[in-house]
A = this chain, B = another copy of it.
Amino acid sequence: MGNTIGHLFRVTTFGESHGPAVGCLVDGCPPRIPILAEDIQRALDRRKPGQPLTSARQERDAVRILSGVFENRSLGTPILLVVENTDPRSRDYDSLKDVFRPSHADYTLQMKYGIRDHRGGGRLSGRETVGRVAAGAVAARFLREVYPVQVTAWISAIGDIRMADPAGPVDPDSIYDSPVRCPDAQAAERMVERLDGVSQARDSIGGLVDCRISGVPAGWGEPVFDKLHADLGKAVLSIPGCKGFQIGSGFAAAAMTGSRHNDPFQAAGGRIGTTTNFSGGVQGGISNGEEIRFQVAFKPTPSIRTAQRTVTKEGLPVELEISGRHDPCIAVRAVPVVEAMAWIILADHCLRHRAMAGRLPPAD
């Protein structure tokens, strides 16, 4: 349970890190949308291990479309996307079979299921996000076919190195050209240095991901529980390593007054908008047509190559030194995953809104 997200655009991911395959099943993609393996592959390549500064595991991550697409267009039926695991090096994990790695899910999986695939974190591995990114590519293709939506995420901090808020739109190429997914070249350089230092210290470090969404019309999001930002929040909080989510003003709102925080409405160019955007593009859980803005916090990679104290399944204390291939900063790898989750939630809320907004008596 719990492997599905979305009410109408439904994404289920599957697969263990060192099992035969990972991927996703997308149910609810509308028909006649161009779905090409190349598009999905391009999205997967953005999260692929083997990039500079990230894990050394070499996976081709070649995606296969096994159902739901006919002559390059969606049929309206479930789309199954499968990526076979080809470089698992499972033996690296033999020594971890009965040891609980600190701040991993080894212990909790054991307690929950009484069984676990100890190799590489099993189901709760970063590798699970392959399925998310593949599904995000389908969601993006659908949405962009029918609305001018754009989702852009980037690294805004690694450790104490922060990038200033961008004045205008961020060029996606400037993000993925950077090894740390940071569009500010100067900040990116310092982040690379910081990561080098951390790696040499056999340590890891946390980071922040910023996300901006433009082109969403007013009216998406459902009161009361399925507010647009609540669903976005859940979606990104479910990404491995995520510790926090804030929309618009976020935690800073706690120190602000209402007279400063309220976003005044104005009418300009035939549409009603706001002159500030502390709301982050969402009011009462419903999009207001302004840019949607949120920020996500990621913890440092828990796999570090320094000695740590922990216990075995039997409770015996052991000293653990984790070898193997690990990113020093999972936030960097999470950038395309944050984008994918946003696309999925937006596609779902687009469909939910359409259901209620079709043929009806006239609006007031």
Contacts and interface: CB of A to CB of B under 8 A. Distances in A.
Contacts of A317: 266-267
Given A12-B25, A16-B70, A354-B359, 15 more contacts: A1-B28, A3-B78, A12-B78, A15-B66, A75-B113, A76-B112, A102-B263, A111-B286, A206-B261, A225-B238, A231-B234, A253-B300, A254-B298, A264-B309, A266-B309
B298 A102 contact: no
Interface residues of A, number: 165
Interface string A210-249: 0000000011011111110111011101101001111111
30 contacts: A1-B7, A2-B222, A3-B222, A5-B225, A14-B67, A16-B70, A21-B66, A22-B67, A25-B25, A31-B115, A102-B263, A103-B283, A105-B284, A109-B223, A112-B218, A112-B219, A112-B221, A114-B363, A123-B223, A225-B235, A225-B238, A229-B237, A243-B246, A243-B248, A243-B251, A254-B298, A258-B303, A259-B306, A261-B299, A265-B311
A245 B237 contact: yes
Given A361-B33, A364-B114, A206 B253 contact: yes
Copies in the complex: 4
A12 B12 contact: yes
Nearest to A250: B244
A13 interface: yes
Contacts of A114: 31-32, 360, 362-364
Contacts of A95: none
A128 interface: yes
Contact of A299 (B121, B201, B253): B253
Contacts of A16: 67-68, 70, 75, 77
A5 to B, nearest CB: 4
What secondary structure prevails in chain A residues at the interface with B? mixed
Given A31-B113, A224-B123, A311-B265, A67 B284 contact: no
A216 B241 CA distance: 21
A315 interface: yes
Interface string A9-40: 01011111001111101011011111000000
B300 A258 contact: yes
Nearest to A344: B225
A331 interface: yes
B108 A75 contact: no
A134 interface: no
A279 interface: yes
B203 A259 contact: yes
Lowest 7 CB-CB distances: which A-B pairs, in order?
A: A105-B284, A114-B363, A2-B222, A2-B226, A267-B315, A244-B246, A204-B258
A285 interface: yes
Contact of A128 (B82, B100, B224): B224
A243 B233 CA distance: 10
A304 B224 contact: no
B107 A272 contact: yes
A128 B73 CA distance: 20
